[in-house]
A = this chain, B = another copy of it.
Amino acid sequence: MAGMTPARGDHDARRLEVSEGVWRVLSTRGFEGLTLRAVAAELGASTGLLTHYFPNKRALLSHALEELDRRSGSRPRRTAPVDGTPPPPAGLPRLRAALLDVLPLDAAAAAGNRIWVGSWDVALADPELAAAHAGRYARSREALAVHVVDAQRRGELPAGSDAVAVATAAQAFVLGLVVQALFAPGEFPAERQTALLDAYLAGLAGPAAGGTGG
């Protein structure tokens, strides 16, 4: 059953397999090492296969990044787990879960984050990719802001502060922690990352007392 007809699902499935090869090359050799030949070798195929499913290298890369975003973005493990585990209650626990989802707490998350961090160089030099990235982070901030508002309604976070600002700051915090953890994985095991995040959230909840001018 190999090399079959064009059932539409097969085509998209094959494109996803190719994207997985792209991920593997990116996470080990970086964008600098992303060549069509490297991806083809990773798949045990030829470059002809790649050009058959994608018009050019940019399309190959864009699709891989979009697919990676869908994987780790629209289906967060901790916010809405796939197994029987119930999701954390709305409000602060769910904000915490969403932020934990970003961190490189295991090897798979580290590989994904390594790709994401690596993509920043090429994205900042390519307006189209830059817009895609900016949109992604804006959407992520909005999602976090919803959790912040929930937490404020429940009294878990001070009600006076700007929810969007809190969400933006929280995302900045985890993004920066990702970078540091990738460069010094030995110094940033999962427990330390979690502890740092919890300390950050405690700082948000702590100064509650009423007015927050500004």
Q: Mark A84-106, 1 if CB is under 8 A from B, else 0.
A: 00000000000000000000000
We find that the number of chain A residues with CB closer than 8 angstroms to chain B is 51
* Cβ-neighbour of A138 out of B29, B184, B204 (below 8 A): B184
Tell me whether A179 and B175 are in contact (CB under 8 A).
Answer: yes
* Cβ-neighbour of A118 out of B33, B121, B130, B199 (below 8 A): B121
The CA of A195 and the CA of B168, in the complex, are separated in Å by 12
| Residues 170 to 189 of chain A near chain B (Cβ within 8 Å) | 171-180, 182-184, 187
Tell me whether A169 and B179 are in contact (CB under 8 A).
Answer: no
Contacts of A168 in B (CB 8 A): 180, 196
Given A183-B137, A199-B169 in contact, is the A30-B124 Cβ separation under 8 Å? Answer: yes
List, sorted by A's number, 12 A–B pairs whose CB atoms are closer than 8 Å. Answer: A30-B121, A31-B32, A32-B121, A118-B120, A123-B183, A133-B183, A168-B196, A169-B200, A172-B172, A172-B179, A199-B214, A207-B207
Besides A121-B121, A203-B203, A206-B207, 20 new A-B residue pairs in contact (Cβ under 8 A), listed by A number: A29-B125, A31-B121, A33-B125, A120-B179, A124-B182, A124-B183, A130-B183, A134-B183, A165-B195, A168-B180, A169-B199, A169-B200, A172-B172, A173-B176, A175-B175, A175-B179, A175-B180, A176-B176, A176-B178, A203-B204
